[in-house]
Every structure is written in C-alpha cells, then in structure tokens.
Amino acid sequence: MMKLFFLVLARDENCVDEKIEELKCLGVPYLIVCGKNLNHPNVVYREPRGKYDAINFGLNFIPKDVDIVALNDVDTKIHNIESALRCFTSEKVALVFARVSVKEGPQKSFYVLLDFIRRKVPIAASGELMLIRRNLLMNIFPLKPCKAEDSYILFKALELKYKTVFCEECYVETERTKTAEKEGIYKRKTVGGIYQALSYTHPPHFIKLFYVLLPIASPLLLVLGKKGYFWMKGILHGLIDYLRGDRTGIWQPSYME
C-alpha cells in the first residue's frame, strides 16, 4: 500500500479553509506551506519566494515513510485522485500530472491546444496537481530557482529516465486569467520559466527542439485573434526575459487581479 502525502502551496490565506476541508474528506495527510502566518497545526509559514522555494521548504516536513508526494495548488478542487494513483502500479512511473479544467477565460482554449500536444509529447507539466515518487523528489532536491517549477521537475524526471504520465481522468478545477491581456502576462511568466527549466536540465532532444521552434512558430497563433496575439506576445516576452538573464523564481501574480 503506497503512502500518499499532500504538500499544498498557498501564497496567502485565500482558499486555505476550503482546501483543508477537501483533504479531510479525501482522508489524506497533508501540510500547507502558506505565505500568511495562520494558526493551524497543518499550516506552516514561509515568506513567499516562489513555488520552488515553498516546495524545498515543505519537503523538510514530509515523513520518511511516504511513498508518493502530491504537490497541489491551494486554489484547486480535485477530482478522481484514484485514477492518478493507479498509474503508480507500474514501478517505472515516477511522476503523474493531472489535467486542468478552467471554465472560463483564455486558458480554456489554451488547455485544449496544450493537452492535444501533451497526449503525444510531454512538453510541459501542470503544477496544479502533480504526484511524484518521493525518491525522485529527493533525487532532485533542492529545486533551483525557477518560475516553471512544474516543468523543471518534469524535465528532470525525463533526464533521469523516469516514466511520466499525463493523467486526464484525474483533473483539477481552478480559475485562471479572465482577459487576453492578463493571459499574455501569465504566458510571459510560464514561458520564461520553461526556458529557465530547460537551462537546468537535459530532457529529450525533441522537447528542446519544440522550444527552439516555439518563438519562430508563435506568429501562427495570430489566426486565433486577440487571445492568440497575447499568447504570442507572452511567449516572446518570456523568451526575452530569459535571454536578458532572468533566473529568479518568483513572480507577482498580477495576472489574476
């Protein structure tokens, strides 16, 4: 029987009470790393320095007998966690990331495109819910500063020849950007972070090739109209941030304001 432990990441107190109730209903042990000092035995305070830092900090509290660590964003609702756990019946599988369901906004269309690609090629992970064998996490701990810590973990797993799974049956509901302009800001953060992750890791060559070609191909997104324009803009600005030397792991989430 695999022992599961949830490490939940929260910038502030928003959604913490709801997440605690959800995890109680699931009957799983958990710890919430929160950027606000809250009075709860399962919540520890850590000044916001980026999700990579919260993960590094939280891993110090995980019991030694845990087999699977679930990294989970606080502002999500989990569905069908059993489907993700079943993937670990194969000892070759070390990382499973769940599908993300967004009901409105530009990311609803974006995930249709991204998931179509990810069914064939693991070009990026979704950090909203990732289940990882503890031995893999300890193998790559501590995480380096990175704005796309989820894809950093994915690329590192692939570099180390672990098998990864995109589990569509298990999914999380969440809210993301509501406007195309905010989506461009969000894409700038994630794409810049992915280029950071690529600089730290050695994933398969076809993944590197995808990101070499991405800026060149990004003008094709213009056929999608306004949201495509801001996707392209975010991609190019993210690459420029990386080329200018941005290696920080923190980003102010103004795209959700």
Q: What domains are defined for the chain?
A: 4-256 (3.90.550.40)
SS3 category, 142: coil
Tell me: the pLDDT tens digits for 93-109?
999 999 999 999 999 99
Are residues 180 and 230 in contact, defined by beta-carbon separation less than 8 angstroms?
A: yes
Tell me: the pLDDT tens digits for 186-229?
999 999 999 999 999 999 999 999 999 999 999 999 999 999 99
The confidence band for 1, taking pLDDT boundaries of 50, 70 and 90, is confident
Q: Which tokens in the block code for residue 183?
A: 């989506």
**pLDDT value at 251 more than 90:** no
Tell me: the pLDDT tens digits for 121-147?
999 999 999 999 999 999 999 999 999
pLDDT over 70 for what percent of the chain?
98
Mean per-residue pLDDT, 2-14: 97
Q: According to the model, what pLDDT value does residue 250 have?
A: 85
Tell me: the pLDDT tens digits for 176-196?
899 999 999 999 999 999 999
Q: According to the model, what pLDDT value does residue 80 have?
A: 98
- Cβ atoms within 10 A of the Cβ of 103, count? 10
Residue 172 CA to residue 188 CA, distance in Å, equals 23
Residue 81 CA to residue 65 CA, distance in Å, equals 20
β-pair partners for 78:
172
pTM over 0.85: yes
The confidence band for 256, taking pLDDT boundaries of 50, 70 and 90, is very low
**pLDDT value at 77 more than 90:** yes
> Which of 114, 175, 113, 105 lies closest to 150, judged by CA?
114
> Which of 84, 200, 102 lies closest to 152, judged by CA?
200
Mean of all residue pLDDT scores within the chain: 96
Residues 44-79: b if buried by 16+ CB within 10 A, e if exposed: bebebebbbbbbbbbbeebeeebebbbbbbbbbebb
Residues 30, 33, 36, CA angle at the centre, nearest 5°?
A: 130
Instruction: Calculate Rg over the CA atoms of the chain.
Output: 17
Residue 127 CA to residue 130 CA, distance in Å, equals 6
Are residues 30 and 54 in contact, defined by beta-carbon separation less than 8 angstroms?
A: no
* Cis peptide bond N-terminal to 142, omega within 30: yes
Tell me: the pLDDT tens digits for 107-120?
999 999 999 999 99
User: Which of the residue ranges 10-14, 54-58, 252-256 would you say has the lowest mean pLDDT?
Assistant: 252-256
Are residues 208 and 198 in contact, defined by beta-carbon separation less than 8 angstroms?
A: yes
